[in-house]
């Protein structure tokens, strides 16, 4: 039993090494240009050995994205309990989203956005629902503290804000993987800042000053 446990840990360690090196390579050359043989060389494996850990490049990317998504959630999971203002909490949420996109920018070409949802459907849905509840609790706190409009529909506002973040993540992944003069200058950080400023304008009381992020 102990021997089996050691072997399992060795496999997990090797899988993590593969994911770490694959993430570096994909961020450097892009998903399309990263080949399985290149990943194998980075970790000192034969191509055949690599396939014994992951069946294809899509599975590798799926697992890398899972790690990034869990890291994102861990940064915001305790926000409802933290003793800070609702605006500060929303800014932490914004920064967590930006960090997630920066680390995942070359991982999610369009076809993978759908493949990831299909392969890890339950995990993604659960985290999305938890994120929604966190957003909702922050908005309710802001209403209670008099920072946000007391007539604000927290459900609708949380849905809108989460949709904005998701949309910017999707467009950013599209732009990073498709060359086009029309969208080559897309700035993800500016778009999130603009979206947050616009969102604040719609939900805050007129007598409350909010520091703009842009």
User: Which among 189, 19, 161 has a CA at the least distance from the CA of 87?
Assistant: 161
The pLDDT of residue 181 is 52
The domains of the chain are located at: 1-55, 57-214
Q: What is the pLDDT along the chain (214 residues), one digit of tens a residue?
A: 566 666 778 888 999 999 999 988 887 887 778 899 999 999 999 989 999 999 888 888 878 878 888 888 999 999 999 999 998 998 898 888 778 777 766 555 434 444 555 555 577 778 888 988 999 999 999 999 988 888 889 998 888 887 777 777 666 666 655 555 555 555 666 777 777 777 777 777 655 555 555 4
- The CATH classification of domain 1-55, taken from the options 1.10.3720.10, 3.30.70.20, 1.10.10.60, 3.30.2320.80: 1.10.10.60
CATH class of 57-214: mainly alpha
The pLDDT of residue 37 is 93
Whole-number Å distance between alpha carbons of 134 and 22: 32
Q: Read off the DSSP letter of residue 120.
A: T
């Amino acid at each position: 039993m102990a021997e089996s446990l050691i072997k399992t840990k060795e496999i997990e360690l090797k899988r993590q090494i593969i994911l770490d090196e694959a993430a570096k390579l994909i961020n450097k050359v892009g998903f399309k240009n990263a080949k399985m043989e290149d990943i194998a060389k980075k970790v000192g494996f034969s191509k055949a050995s690599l396939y014994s850990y992951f069946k294809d490049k899509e599975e590798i990317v799926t697992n890398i994205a899972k790690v990034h998504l869990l890291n994102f959630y861990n940064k915001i999971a305790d926000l409802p309990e933290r003793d800070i203002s609702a605006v500060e909490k929303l800014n932490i949420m914004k920064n967590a989203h930006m960090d997630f996109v920066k680390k995942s920018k070359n991982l999610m070409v369009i076809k993978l956005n759908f493949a990831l949802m299909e392969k890890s459907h339950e995990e993604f849905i659960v985290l999305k629902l938890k994120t929604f509840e966190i957003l909702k609790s922050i908005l309710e706190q802001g209403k209670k503290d008099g920072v946000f409009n007391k007539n604000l529909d927290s459900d609708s506002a949380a849905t809108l804000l989460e949709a904005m973040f998701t949309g910017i993540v999707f467009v950013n992944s599209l732009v990073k993987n498709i060359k086009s003069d029309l969208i080559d200058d897309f700035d993800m950080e500016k778009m999130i800042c603009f979206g947050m400023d616009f969102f604040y304008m719609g939900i805050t009381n007129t007598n409350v000053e909010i520091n703009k992020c842009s």
